[in-house]
Homo-oligomer: A and B are copies of this chain.
């Protein structure tokens, strides 16, 4: 029963993350989606009809406040048909649901904030925010999910999967360099390299770690904030000059192999 498979998606109240969340719900997964505050989690809840046993839960975590959020409780909202049914305060990702019945099988690290500041002008607050949201929080969320996945394996004999949405700007082999994105590019490079080492460490546990580095993705904040001239330059460097589609990212996640 696929509804007993649970996925977590961060950055899931907007952009790529919300589309991935909704696709997962449509494919039958139960979903825990993470947004940056209560209001956003409640307002941007999924409007998808759930199957019997399938759940959708939103968790409000301020990733900018890393590491404070790691050891506190988070507001969690169980929702159905556009209504909040229950609100829980807990630091357990699976709170509200029986871990023997439901298995955490997928974490999608998708939360991210963009940047358009010259390196010399960025202040420490901005630098900390980008690194905390784009990288440090994904590491801590990964740790929390991994602990649950390792327990899963003992309970259910079922491995898990971690998918990280990085960026072509963090991929040093891409040779795509965009002025104004030094800290953003750094945070994504950190994510890519961290997950290469993590993947090696997790081999013996049969937990997959996958990192996807999309180019410019259609209808995202990056597209909205990036200087049109730089966008054009970036497009020229992309294969066929084409934007990455969210469906392409979802296809790259290879979820078929999971269910």
Q: Which residue of B118, B127, B136, B171 is within 8 Å of A139 (Cβ)?
A: B127
In the bound complex, do residue B200 and residue A177 qualify as a contact, i.e. CB atoms below 8 Å apart?
A: yes
Chain A residues touching B, majority SS: helix
A196 and B176 alpha carbons, distance in the complex (Å)? 10
In the bound complex, do residue B185 and residue A193 qualify as a contact, i.e. CB atoms below 8 Å apart?
A: yes
A87 to chain B minimum Cβ distance, whole angstroms, is 26
Q: Mark A151-181, 1 if CB is under 8 A from B, else 0.
A: 0000000000000000001111100011111
Which B residues are CB-close (under 8 A) to A177? 196-197, 200
Q: A67-B128, A131-B136, A200-B179 are in contact. Are A192 and B194 (CB under 8 A)?
A: no
A240 lies within 8 A of chain B by Cβ: no
Q: Which residue of B119, B120, B171, B178 is within 8 Å of A194 (Cβ)?
A: B119
27 residue pairs from A and B, CB less than 8 Å apart: A66-B124, A67-B128, A119-B142, A119-B194, A119-B198, A120-B146, A122-B143, A124-B140, A127-B140, A128-B136, A131-B131, A131-B135, A135-B190, A139-B183, A177-B197, A180-B201, A181-B197, A182-B194, A182-B197, A182-B198, A185-B193, A185-B197, A186-B190, A186-B194, A188-B193, A189-B190, A189-B193
